[in-house]
Chains A and B, each alone.
Chain A
Amino acid sequence: MSSKVIEINNVNFSYGKQKALLNITFDVKEHQFTAVIGPNGGGKSTLVKLMLGLLEPNSGSVKILNMQPKNAREFVGYVPQYIDVNLDFPITVLDVVMMGNKKEHLKESISIFKRLFPIKYSDIEIKCAYSTLQKVGMQDYIDRKIGDLSGGQRQRVMIARALCSHPKLLILDEPTSNIDPQGQKEIFELLKELNRDLTIFVVSHDLAVVSEYAQKIIYINREAFVHDLGNDTLGATSKSNGHFCQVEMMQMLKGLKR
């Protein structure tokens, strides 16, 4: 039994007059490692924002875990494309990870009295942050200032923040855009490992990397071309799902693959 985690049906979206997404339809099953590729301005981040309920489609429907995106937020972890962060911002890794904490968790641990001592996290909270950081291999950095970390390390912390509430779906918008090839491979290995427990939906520019890991590849350039590989990855097979624009997909693969 594999239920649908993401269901996108005939979605259209435009910013004012500018059409960003046209008739997008696809779904993602539980534990399916899904990658979205496409050119700059193709609408990838727009699609992600629709899935988070930050934007509403003009027509069509977006369902996450059978819910409206806004109601599904607590089951979704999100790693933004590029946070326009001030590297001098005084904040530790622990603080950042705690931002992703479950809401109920936050309420329970913060009575009005405790709120008067806001910098002390409870033991439960610290334990939770520590174990989440362990998953991404950053537990030794828990007290470091985030601006002092490397780009790849910071991205791992962002992933930990997204994992903190134990999501069922993890959405990452170009998690490796500022990271060297080695770091990129490490992040994708990490995602592969996390994929055992949750569904991964990752936006990337790099088909070569993605094809090694993804079971489903969606190419978006206003319209979507879906390439479903079942349980395999492109690395294992080149069998194409016939009823999506196969020709375009293959052209796209030829064009982008090194």
Chain B
Amino acid sequence: MIEALSYDFVQNALIAGVLVSISIGIIGALVVVNRMVFLAGGIAHSSYGGIGLAIYFGIPMALSTSLFAVASALLISWLSIYHKNRIDSFIGLIWAVGMAIGIVLVDLSPGYHGDLMSYLFGSIMAVSHSDIWIMTILLITILLFVHIFYREILAISYDSEYASLRGIKSHLFYTLILVLSALSVVVAIKVVGLILVIAMMTIPTFIAEKLSKSLYMMMILSALFAFVFTMLGLILSYIFDLTSGATIILTSAFGMGVYGVISYIKSRI
């Protein structure tokens, strides 16, 4: 185990795990309190279209998936402001169409694409130095955003109509949260894959919400739980030679189960 740490790719995997789990923990808290989980799910899956684009046109994956995810975030944000009542149907549409575009583009691309599974379930051992840079910049952006605009974010998350009356640009902040979650989803695809990213966003957040008295504390706890589950998952996946993304999610689910049992016992005493 210890000697494994001397490998470059293992170090990168651990650093990526730290950066991504903290980003996803913080953004996950905002996604959950704003009831955007389904929206984030739509963005995550539609970004498969970006993977198709990258393979078909031979452009960098990070660029194409980011562009695709941000475009769906903007579209979803616009739709949820102007067609609030039908937003579920639109997200279902974006979700499926994004994936369909990806699949068709991959079909049309010549050659073998054996590593597609790694986008669905993560490929943390393949994290590169440039990926680490992207993850670091994203985390710093998220940290600055939630600190500088904490009060605005709190106000629109709790009661957006009232926040608008007090002069806060609700639509703008709503859109920014969606865009940041789109980017977080894209970087998390490396770690857990796009199928599992929503679980990584919601499981630590679920426990954190129950234990917190403020949104700030919820973001901290959710980042902390995401970090712990990710590290445990990575270690277990290394020891037992398992798919890292799936192991991280199962570790998180186990953590949630433990939390459930503890709080049940506490409520009975």
Contact = CB atoms under 8 A, between A and B. Distances in A.
* Interface of chain B, main secondary structure: helix
Nearest to A49: B161
A247 interface: no
Nearest to A53: B165
A156 B155 CA distance: 18
Interface string A134-148: 000000000101000
Contact of A85 (B151, B158, B213): B158
Contacts of B218: 90
* Interface of chain A, main secondary structure: loop
Contacts of B159: 80, 83, 85, 99
Contact of A90 (B162, B167, B214): B214
Contacts of B162: 78, 80, 83, 99-100, 161
B165 A52 contact: yes
Nearest to B156: A99
Contacts of A86: 33, 35
Interface in A85-129: 85-86, 88-92, 95-96, 98-100, 103, 106, 110, 112, 115-119
B125 interface: no
A37 to B, nearest CB: 23
B9 to A, nearest CB: 35
B161 A103 contact: no
Interface string B157-171: 111011111110000
A119 B214 contact: yes
Interface in A141-184: 143, 145, 161
A217 B151 CA distance: 38
A112 B161 CA distance: 26
Given A115-B150, A119-B150, A103 B165 contact: no
A106 B167 CA distance: 11
Contacts of B149: 115
A112 B213 contact: no
B216 interface: yes
A54 interface: yes
A17 to B, nearest CB: 17
A73 interface: yes
Nearest to A147: B213
A73 to B, nearest CB: 6
A54 B161 contact: yes
Contacts of B33: 86, 89-90
Contacts of B35: 86
Interface string B190-203: 00000000000000
Nearest to B29: A90
Contacts of A91: 154, 158, 213-215
Contacts of A116: 147-148
A100 B150 CA distance: 15
Contacts of B215: 89-91
B213 A145 contact: yes
B10 to A, nearest CB: 34
Pick from B147, B159, B209, B210 the residue with the most CB of A within 10 Å.
Answer: B159
Given A54-B165, A83-B159, A90 B151 contact: no
B128 interface: no
A90 B209 contact: yes
A145 B162 CA distance: 19
Contact of A118 (B158, B161, B165, B216): B216
Contacts of A52: 165
Given A78-B162, A78-B165, A92 B214 contact: yes
A166 B150 CA distance: 24
B209 A118 contact: no
Contacts of B147: 115-118
Contacts of A95: 154, 158, 214
Given A112-B148, A118-B147, A118-B150, A90 B212 contact: yes
Interface string B170-214: 000000000000000000000000000000000000000110111
12 contacts: A54-B165, A73-B167, A85-B159, A90-B209, A90-B217, A91-B158, A99-B158, A112-B148, A115-B149, A115-B150, A117-B147, A119-B214
Interface of B: 33, 35, 147-151, 154-155, 157-159, 161-167, 209-210, 212-218
Interface of A: 52, 54, 73, 78, 80, 83, 85-86, 88-92, 95-96, 98-100, 103, 106, 110, 112, 115-119, 143, 145, 161
